Amino acid sequence: MTERYIRAQHKGFTFAQLQAHTSHDGGDGLGEDVGGVCACTSVAELRSNTVMGALSPDDDVIVFEGVHLSSIYDGERVRPVREIARFTVADLCERPERIGEEI
């Protein structure tokens, strides 16, 4: 069963690249075993996530459907299935309610 998630990342990753990517910084030790990427379940969770300090205003925020793999210290580890929408970090900061409507 898929659910909707939100993730911020450096600009330029295609959704196919995201699907092939494995996050190794989830803190759950499962990166090598199960794969998947780190993501959040809400705009508020993403805005307070540590990843936001490493991104520029023109980097990507992606809303997507995915399969939950595990819970991590500041979000979830998921396997991306389908892209729903793509925004910028600036959009997230300026109009979070617009992005929240997609989740």
Q: Inform me whether the pLDDT recorded for 95 exceeds 70.
A: yes
Encode pLDDT of 9-67 as tens digits: 999 999 999 999 888 765 556 556 677 899 999 999 999 888 888 889 999 999 999 99
Q: Tokens 């023109």 identify what position?
A: 58
Q: How many domains does the chain have?
A: 1
Residue ranges making up the domain that contains 29: 3-100
Higher pLDDT, 101 or 68: 68
CA 87 to chain CA mean position, Å: 12
pTM: 0.88
